[in-house]
Amino acid sequence: MPARNVKGNVKAQDKILYVANKLGLSSLKYMQATTRVVYDQSTTAATNHTLFEGAAGRSFPLTNLGANGNQFQVDEALLVEKIAFFIPDAQDGQNFTTNNNRSFKFDLIIGNKTVMKDVVIEAGGQQAFFNDGSAASAVIDLEGVGILIPPQVEFKITVKPMATNTRGSQSESVGCYLFGTGVLLNFNTSI
């Protein structure tokens, strides 16, 4: 069997179905595909934040996750293709500023596994990942096939805001978006 070029031939749906099969989630292939964005934020200034954990205790507009908090329902999943950070307005969390020349060092943890460790998103440019180069941009594009957050598995991001020019930690509020291909429960099939 010839080797496949991962970036060229494997699609988001292929990755979702592959991981679902490995986890024994046979019904995921019958669910509704969608584009999905989830976010969470901490409006309290600090040098370390844990986002998405405890999201069930926060309401919109601070998060859009709702009662299930930091895990998706049965037959829901998210293949994370982009991760973005922002600095929310400390008063209401509804408006947010640019990242004020900040960088963000983070870990993405799914279940009890750290799947991205000590990743730094540079404000205004990133060497290994796409970034539009503007001072207001703090987005990482997971080239290739992304990282899957399966149903009913808790996930969180630990993040440290830093000054871009000195790498010193900053006490600041922070928020995060996870964007990618999602799977939603589909009641149009037999369950």
Write the pLDDT tens digit of every residue in 136-154.
Answer: 456 777 776 788 898 889 9
**Would you report the helix, strand and coil content of the chain in percent, each value rounded to 5?**
15, 45, 45
Instruction: Report how far residue 111's alpha carbon sits from residue 7's, in angstroms, rounded to the nearest whole number.
Output: 26
Domain ranges of the chain: 7-184
pLDDT at 100: 57
Answer yes or no: are the C-beta atoms of 87 and 135 closer than 8 Å: no
Instruction: Over range 100-112, report the average pLDDT.
Output: 87
- Residue 90 Ramachandran class (φ > 0 left, ψ -120 to 50 alpha, else beta): alpha
> Which of 40, 45, 170, 28 lies closest to 108 in space, CA to CA?
40
Q: Report the run of H or E that residue 37 belongs to, with start and end.
A: strand 32-46
DSSP E strands in 126-188: the ranges are 139-141, 147-149, 155-163, 172-184
Instruction: Over range 93-119, report the average pLDDT.
Output: 79
Q: What is the CATH number of domain 7-184?
A: 2.60.120
> Which of 145, 175, 10, 130 lies closest to 80 in space, CA to CA?
145
Report residue 49 as tokens: 């934040």
